[in-house]
Amino acid sequence: MTDQDGSRGGFPKAATAFLHESSRSIDSTTSSSNTLRDEEIKGLEAWSSPRKEVLDAEEDDHLLAIPTTPPPVDGATPRLSFQDGKSRSPKKTKTKSKTASWSSLPRKGQLALLTASRLAEPLTQTSLQSYMFYQLKSFDPSQSDSAISTQAGMLAAAFTLAQFVTAILWGRAADSERCGRKMVLLIGLTGTMISAIGFGFSKSYASVVFWRCLGGALNGNVGVMRTMISEIIKEKKFQSRAFMLLPMTFNIGVIIGPILGGVLSDPINQHPGIFGPDSLLGGKEGIWWMRNWPYALPNLVSACFLFSAATGLFLGLEETHEILKHRPDRGRQIGAWILRTILRRRDRQEYAQLASDDTDAPTNAPNDIEMQTAKEANEQKLRGRKKLPVSRIWTKRVVITLLAHATLAFHVGTFNNLWFIFLSTPRFDPEHPSPPTHHHQSLPFSFTGGLALPPARIGLALSILGSLGIIIQLFIYPKWTAIFGLVRSYRYSIMLFPLAYFLVPYLSLLPSSTAPPKAADGIVVWLGIAFVLLIQVMARTFALPATNILVNNNCPHPSILGTFHGIAQSISSLSRTIGPAVAGWLYGRGLVWGVVGTGFWGLGVAALVNNFAGCFVRDSDGHEILLEGEVRQVDEEEEDGGKR
């Protein structure tokens, strides 16, 4: 071998030279230093061969030619060696979690069924808000406006009080093997449908209170829906989108419901050419049941929406309970048969879902002995899992989270009721002041009167609230949460509530194009309404999905997730029971005192308490308490999210 040949050999020759020299130096220590120096020179000449020759070398030979370092000593930080002779430590790269897009959400069909069911409920609730003041007035026209305001607050409190009593029971029923999540949702939709029909055909204040109590007692759906979303969407990167579906659906209901109620209420007087005497559909005297029950039509339409939602759930929704989801579902079997036989469509969900672990058996597995035995063994294993007692859930983190959740529900839920009362309240008329001793308006606090809007315009004003919420949720909320994270976006958003509540009463002082007692109108009035609602809706749009995620993630153990959401809904219902009752009473007293802002400014104080509690809220992984035999799994993304 010549120097020229060695130079052309590139890396293969160099590697051979080094390996050969290493073995010679170990086996023969008696070789002369001159011979060793000559061989080293040959190796260095091979290293200095042209780069083109180096790139042509075989991959395996190239790896042999790279100098290596000995393994690190225990406890030492590993270092990388480079050809320049320098030793460097590897840099830690922090992976930034990307915000999931709407199109990347998994299980869209199941989420669509849940959101459609959620839409039917706010549609019913917000529909009656647009005419409730006038329906209560029809029971006893001699009542004062302050008395009706108090009745409206008590009526709203009746629904949430019944929810408070039964929400935990529905949560436990959703966690039980005898009932499950899906059955609770079906009962809730059916109960709401029956109560809506009864409310529409009521002729007294006592009867509407009864039907609202019945609807609240049979409805524990919000907590169960949140539980199912958390079980369908397990990855945190999808949670901000998935949990935003329920508030977004509420905003859609806020858009449609008030318009529906405002247009369809008292149809004979609003649309005499269609339903009145000698009309298209009314005949000689008008439609008799519309004449006797003028507020029944919007409730019947709402009942149709609720029935459609319940039917869709029965035929298509999958059970997410860890034991019941493995059992046959008669409703989904009927739904699959309708798709195949009547609609001539292939049901993609007819096939079994991939098992999440080795023990999970497919839902529609073949009915043979081996698969049946595996399925029974899996159910037996799930039944044997330990369940956290309810008495152990009250950790410091849970108490703080539920306190923040309760205070948020107090003022947000109350605002929706107080807002439509304020819109319905007659304007201040100097010629006929109410109260009689209040002859002139005085800033900054001694002024009274509402906007005196009729049901149709109240529906429009409430629809503005929902429309703004949809726009903010689609275009602003995802970027906001991506920048600030879950906890900080929650804290920043709730700071806007006190400002919105402080400004609302001053809408009655804006210049109107119409004189009292006519309804307030004009560009300035509607711009003022839009501005105040923009602040309130922006705060609500950011705060509600965040608090739902925080409640879900701070559940101390997965075995009681449904029960925990039931507890959260029960606490929320208690807040929304006390809130409208207290704020309605304050608002009524304010009309007597000549200070219309008392109710809204009271909400501002509650919002400040919510801000204080929000300072101590933290994110978690939904598994704070470990039972015997469980091991905590640390997720870097979750750990980082909790710090934010």
Query: pLDDT tens digit string along 237-257?
Result: 787 778 778 878 877 887 788
pTM for the model stands at 0.64
Q: Which of 131-135, 257-261, 448-452, 497-501 has the highest mean pLDDT?
A: 497-501
Q: Give the chain's largest Cα–Cα span.
A: 128
Q: What SS3 state is found at 446?
A: strand
Contact status, residue 12 vs residue 58, Cβ threshold 8 Å: yes
Instruction: Record the tokens describing residue 52, joined without a space.
Output: 């083109």
Instruction: Please give the share of the chain, as a percent, with pLDDT higher than 70.
Output: 75
Radius of gyration of the chain (CA): 34
DSSP 283: B
Q: How far apart are CA 207 and CA 192, in angstroms?
A: 15
Contact status, residue 137 vs residue 421, Cβ threshold 8 Å: no
85 band by pLDDT with thresholds 50, 70 and 90: very low
Mean predicted confidence (pLDDT) in 384-396: 78
Q: Does 56 have pLDDT greater than 50?
A: no
**Among the ranges given (26-30, 227-231, 552-556), the one the predictor scored with the smallest mean pLDDT:** 26-30
Beta strands in 23-105 (DSSP E): 80-81, 87-88
**Among the ranges given (147-156, 341-350, 385-394, 404-413), the one the predictor scored with the smallest mean pLDDT:** 341-350
Which pLDDT belongs to residue 381?
53
Q: Which of 21-30, 312-321, 468-477 has the highest mean pLDDT?
A: 312-321
What integer best gives the mean pLDDT of the chain? 77
Q: What is the residue type of 434?
A: S
Q: How far apart are CA 432 and CA 145, in angstroms?
A: 14
Q: Does 144 have pLDDT greater than 80?
A: yes
Cβ neighbours for 414, distance < 8 A, ≥ 6 positions apart? 576, 579, 580, 582, 583, 603, 606
Q: How far apart are CA 500 and CA 508, in angstroms?
A: 15
Which pLDDT belongs to residue 566?
84
Mean predicted confidence (pLDDT) in 49-53: 45
455-475 and 523-553 are packed helices; what angle lies between their axes, rounded to 10 degrees? 50
Q: Of residues 584 and 301, which shows the higher confidence score? A: 301
353 band by pLDDT with thresholds 50, 70 and 90: very low
Query: pLDDT tens digit string along 597-637?
Result: 999 999 999 999 999 999 999 988 777 777 776 666 655 44
Q: What SS3 state is found at 449?
A: coil
User: How many other CB atoms are found less than 10 A from the CB of residue 71?
Assistant: 8
Q: Does 71 have pLDDT greater than 60?
A: no
Which pLDDT belongs to residue 185?
93
